[in-house]
Structure 1
Amino acid sequence: MFAFKSQKYSFFHMQLLGDQQSECGESSTVMFYNNMGVLHHAMGKPNLACHYYQKALQEDTALTSKKDVEISLWVNGGSRYHEIMYNLGISLLYAGKPQQAFECLIVAVRRYHRNSRLWLRLAECCIISHRGSNETDFDIKQKKKEFVIECIGTNENQKIVLTTNLSKDKKYSTESQSYAVPVPTLEFAILCLRNAQLLLPSNSVSSPVPLLVKPGITPPAPPPSPGPAPSNSIHTEDVTNLRNSILIANAYVSLCLGDYIMTLEYSENLLSQPRKSGIHVLLAHLYAAESLVLLDKLQEALQHLHPEHIKDLSHELPSDSASSDEAPLKTNPPFKWFPSTRASIVALFQYNLAVVMTIRGQLDQAATLARQIWQSSQTTQVPAHILMLVLYIELKLGHVDVARSLIKQYSLQYRFV
């Protein structure tokens, strides 16, 4: 996200000048609408920002498509079409419109194809189009209506048919098309993330070393490296955050596409980074554990589900000097993060732990843990799949009456005789 700077007009005078152009072909009206969009985006109003960007696009297109006059070369050169499309795509992504954002960013990437962050944003559009939120997986009231799919017979001979899968996720595309086709799919996200990783700027910034340094005087810090257009300068911390975001996105997409070996590789790569945020560490452990379970490496999966991994739950990188133990812990996830409390995240780890125990045949331990999670559902958001796990464990332990009682209590779409 960036604002335009005019060589002739100040920002505060743009709204008074009308549709004027400088000698370099810059339009005050285009810059005014774009900068208003930047301000509203910064204030957390992405929908209003999109309105101003669309106005800027209309003005920019009108200036470069006049048919009654000859378009000067510097007028065409002053067009800000691709920069505004970049801004519009980012605001649409923040506004929860990933497919529209994808259409804008795919236009911008034709010009700024060397921008690593832009390729990451395209991948995020694909990911959000695949799955916009995981709140439905914590909505027990809604999910419990899907537990029973059919009842056969009546009275004592009644049989209850349970669903085999609560998840509605589609793992991968079944259409016979190339992965390189620019559509918001997980397959295309893999290509975007590969480009983002290859174009990632270096952490080191090359700058001239002073020949003479006076004793006791610290030489000035090297300037940030110029970022690829249309981004601003990139600092070392920005590169670290960008690398970690690419790794965790790769881990998620690979997991969704069934490439569990690559999921594990990306997760372990992130965990080996010297600096990473608490949220990225949390996700890396969850993705690594799930991939190990699917690879039938249950003992290794248990190591990633230890409660000690739930510490700092922020997006911020720890400082270089302070260790993770010395840094202040944030026990609540970032804004607009779901699950929204640390207690819910603990319940999520416990649920996955109970699943691993069940697969290993440790049914008594799994039953105890599952009951604890179910009891906490009265005050905490817990995975809705916990009820299905409890039913499965009770049936495996031979407690048919307990399972039947749970079904009667929480399945509201059937009347049992």
Structure 2
Amino acid sequence: MAESSDKPEETAETTETVPSVAVITDEERELAGKALLQFESGKYDAALNTISRLEETRPSDHKVLHNRAVVEFHKSNCTKTDEFRQRLQTVCSQISIKVNDLDGLEDVDNGVLYYNQAVVRFHTRQFQEAANILEKLFQFIEPLEETLARKICMVLIDLYLLTYQAEKALHMVSYFDKMLFDPPSAGKSKEGAQDKDKEKDKAPESGASLAATKETTVETVSPNEEFRPLLHQYKARCCLLAKSIKACKREIKAVINTQGMTSTTIFLKANFEYLRHNYRKAVKLLSSIPDAPRMIELGEWIPVMFYNNLGCIHFYMKKYNLGAFYFKKAMQENDNRAQQLPKREPGQVLSGRPLHTLATNKHYELLYNAGVQLLHAGRPLAAFDCLIESVQVYHSNPRLWLRIAECCIAANQETPEEESKGIPSKKQMSSQGVVGSGFHRKLVVMSPSQKGSKFTPNGQSSAIPVANLEFASICLKNAAMLLPEESAAKDAGSTGHAGTGVQLGSHALDSGDMFDGSLPGDSGCVAAPPAFPLKPLEAASLRCSVLACSAYVSLGLGDNVTALHHAQTLLTQPSLSGSLKFLGHLYAAEALISLDQVSEAIQHLNPDNVSDVSVSIPGTVDTATEKGKGSDEGEERESQAVHSQYYPHSLQSAKSTLMFNLASAHCLRSEFEKAKKCLHQAASLIPANEIPPQAIMLGVYLELQSGNTKLALQIIKKKQLIPMMKGSDSNAPLPTSNTPPTPLIRTKQKPRK
């Protein structure tokens, strides 16, 4: 992103005006200029010899020591990062500089030292620390040398984009534009600006750092005009991040006019079409990208980005298995390219590879994307394996912990074959056999429940990563801990649509991530790397989903008290969607019934408690109406795509589910007439083919309790509740067993954001 091959140049020039050391002689000034020329021409050994001669007369000059560190770093092809970082720290200690505590800039020439420290942090993915250093340095940008000032602006823009701060990035782009084409004064020195500007132009695309790019070619183009394509790129990326479609379209046209259809331009245009939901056009654009093997030179892995973006696009096209295939291809390409990189030096954390390639491995980011894709494809165990590995890096992401819990829930949900062992489907409602004869002749309509235990075996810790409900409970606790307090979320009062876990483009965090996920304190956002940060309203919505999943998991584990607490807490949340409100009442009722508090459960099962089953938060704009306006319709698509076969697809279906369960609750209180009425009303709300088999069995039980044996047999034979409407009087005796039926199975929790 930002290179500092000029740093020796900066420092060499500053050694000529050091007031705190001995006065610079003409001979020393000549040696400094000679060392600068040798460095720019790539003659690092000669430059080191010249600097050694300077050290003989100025052994304690920190600027000379800094120049030596930069030249030696370039000589190693920018691979000895650990040594370079240590030497920078030594120079700072020598002059009592605290990099993270910049209150003032006594010597303007020391700005290069701060800049180098920030660039090292940038390439080790410590984005917030790098931004803090440069933001403080930016306060003193006016007296700085012009080339260094431009470099500071560009690195800050990239940092703001990488930390999803579109507004700050746009402000910095505006300042950078004025600096280039409307400078307040022309008094700044322009010496060496052309060569440095050329390095700057390559920086954002290559990701190279302080000593990483050393361009020696010279062009006759005006330095400021040479920056114009880069400026349009920055503006386009800011507009994409802010989802400003109209402004983005204008800037992408400007990029195409100034640069042509390069790989960077095609990625930007494909991202633009992706935001406009023109997925087929985005795929067509990506397919036209030339395979430029610039990994070593620029740190860009075109095939990896290509397959990753295809996977993201197919996710929103609801082609989850195909998207998972592309993510697998991306991981294969990523692993192949990673093997081409030099190995790290033994005992060193960063040394052995060029600085700009330290964080180019996208392994964990691709695992994250593949895990989300596989979860939606109905392959929770494979998704669990991917997400549990990616959480080693992105452990500060509350949404990721929720995704892992959803994998555990989905893996423990019963398949239709497993459910048939306990409750028969409509096809299995026919007689399974006859027992006895004469008056004792009985009809067998279902086999005994054979449900297996889903609990952790004795002696095994629930903290071991296994796709079971115990581990899901731990994941949900982690997600809740990472979310802000409810009071803080209320005070933030920010609106917006939740960012998705997957994204298009090449600007996401990767496996070299050392970014702690922290964001500026006044942002009100919750970091969720590698995805977009959660805005306050999005964090509140995520909290609701975590509570709903927690209630479901607690019910599955038999912890009814905790389940009731989570469900009641869910119902008190201010930002509660209709679908989660429905689940909250359903889960609270089931917990209360298990706690033998049927009267309180009946209050939750009142159909009037649910007025809609939408997944959108009240007060937000419906994403369907925003299509083509830059809204994230993918969020709604994701929510719709993950509706399971158990989840009500309409308000009428939700009300019927509540009433079916209300009928079961009345049965537990021996209020059979009320149960019949609720069952009849519930059946009238939905088509006959959507009536669950549990409801039919409940109807059979009610008729048996009323002594209507013949009508119960008719219900079994016809596999529907219609005969109930006709009524029937039978003198058949009541069944000997008064055991009430098992309450209807609760609605399965769907994966949600």
Match of 2:360 among 78, 85, 99: 78
Residues 24-70 of structure 1, C-alpha deviation per residue, up to 9 Å, x if partnerless? 53322212221222222233322222222111111111122249988
CA distance in 2, matches of 1:278, 1:165: 36
For 1:185 and 1:149, the matched residues in 2 are separated by: 33
**1:367 to 1:79, Cα distance in 2 relative to 1, 3 A:** same
2:322 paired residue among 48, 53, 68: 48
Alignment counterpart, residue 263 of structure 1, candidates 553, 563, 571: 563
Aligned partner of 2:601 among 291, 301, 319: 301
Q: Which amino acid aligns with 1:183?
A: V
Structure 2 CA distance, aligned partners of 1:274 and 1:352?
A: 26
Q: 1:184 and 2:458 equivalent?
A: no
Conservation of the 8 A alpha-carbon contact between 1:351 and 1:383: no
Check 1:320–1:46 CA distance in 2 against 1; reply closer, same or farther (3 A cut): closer
1:173 aligns with 2:455: yes
Alignment-mate amino acid for residue 335 of structure 2 = T
Change (3 A) 1:154 1:200: same
Does the 8 Å CA contact 2:426/2:719 hold for their aligned counterparts? no
Work out whether residues 334 and 362 of structure 2, in 8 Å CA contact, stay in contact via their aligned partners in 1. Answer: yes
Letter in 1 for 2:672: L
Count residues with an aligned counterpart: 383
Judged with a 3 Å threshold, the aligned counterparts in structure 2 of structure 1 residues 50 and 364 are, in CA distance, closer, same or farther, namely same
| Matched residue, 2:542 | 242
CA offset at residue 116 of structure 1? 0.7
> Which residue is equivalent to 2:590?
290
Label 1:248 to 1:32 Cα distance change in 2 as closer, same or farther (>3 A): same
Q: Which residue number corresponds to residue 151 of structure 1?
A: 434
- AA aligned to 1:357 is H
Q: Deviation at 1:200?
A: 1.4
- The aligned counterpart of 1:124 is 406
Say yes or no: does 1:313 pair with 2:613: yes
2: CA distance, partners of 1:226 / 1:391: 52
Partner of 1:385: helix, strand, or coil?
helix
Mean Cα deviation higher: 393-402 or 49-58? 393-402
Q: Which residue of 1 aligns with 2:338?
A: 64
Which residue does 2:205 correspond to in 1?
7
Alignment of 1:15-26 (within 5 A): 15-21=289-295, 23=297, 25-26=299-300
Q: Is the 8 A contact 1:88 1:101 kept in 2?
A: yes
Of Structure 1 and Structure 2, which has the larger fraction of its residues in helix?
2
Q: Rate the CA distance shift 1:116–1:240 in 2: closer, same or farther, 3 A.
A: same
How far 1:171 moved relative to its partner? 5.7
Long gaps (5+) in structure 1: 208-221, 322-332, 412-417
The residue identity in structure 2 corresponding to 1:286 is: L
Secondary structure of the residue that 1:160 maps to in structure 2? strand
Q: 1:380/1:92 Cα in 2 relative to 1: closer, same or farther (>3 Å)?
A: same
Aligned residues with identical type, % of pairs: 34
Large movers: runs of 4+ above 6 Å: 67-71, 132-138
- Equivalent position SS for 1:172: coil
Q: 1:67 to 1:230 in 2, by over 3 A?
A: closer
Bigger shift: 152-161 or 184-193? 152-161
Residue 390 and residue 110 in structure 1: after superposition, are their counterparts in 2 closer, same or farther (change >3 A)?
A: same
Q: Report which of the two structures shows the higher radius of gyration computed on alpha carbons.
A: 2
Question: In structure 2, what residue type is equivalent to 1:40?
Answer: H
Residue 357 (structure 1) aligned with residue 631 (structure 2): no
Read off the aligned partner of 1:181 and give its amino acid letter. Answer: I
Q: Is the 8 A contact 2:429 2:719 kept in 1?
A: no
How far the C-alpha of 1:302 sits from its partner, in A, is: 0.9
Partner of 2:708: 399
Work out the CA distance in 1 between the residues paired with 2:454 and 2:701.
28
Shift of 1:193: 0.5
The 1:6/1:169 distance shift into structure 2, 3 A limit, reads: farther
* Amino acid of the structure 1 residue aligned with 2:668: I
Where structure 2 has 5 or more consecutive residues not aligned to the other structure, the ranges are: 1-161, 165-202, 207-262, 268-285, 345-351, 493-521, 622-638, 721-753
Q: 1:126: Cα distance to partner?
A: 0.6
Structure 2 partner of 1:366: 675
Distance 1:261 1:47 in 2: 39
CA–CA distance in structure 2, aligned partners of residues 368 and 44 of structure 1:
41
* Separation in structure 2 between the aligned mates of residue 409 and residue 318 of structure 1, nearest angstrom: 43
TM-score (norm 2): 0.46
**Alpha-carbon distance, 1:367 to partner:** 2.3
RMSD: 3.5
Query: Shift of residue 372 of structure 1?
Result: 4.1
Following TM superposition, by how much is the alpha carbon of 1:356 offset from its aligned partner in structure 2, in angstroms? 0.9
Once the two structures are TM-superposed, the CA of residue 196 in structure 1 deviates from its matched residue by 0.7
- Find the residue that maps to 2:612 and give its secondary structure: coil
Amino acid at match of 1:187: E
> CA 1:43 to 1:295, structure 2 compared with 1: closer, same or farther past 3 Å?
same
Cα distance, 1:206–1:334 mapped onto 2, change above 3 Å: closer
Q: Which sits farther off after the overlay, 293-302 or 400-409?
A: 400-409
In 1, Cα distance between the equivalents of 2:324 and 2:265? 19
SS in 2 for 1:7: helix
Please give the per-residue CA displacement for 1:170-222, whole angstroms capped at 9, x wherever unaligned: 56325332211211111110011011111114545999xxxxxxxxxxxxxx6
Query: C-alpha displacement at 1:73, in angstroms?
Result: 4.8
Q: Is the 8 A contact 1:339 1:381 kept in 2?
A: no
SS across alignment from 2:537: helix
Counterpart pick for 1:382 among 687, 691, 705: 691
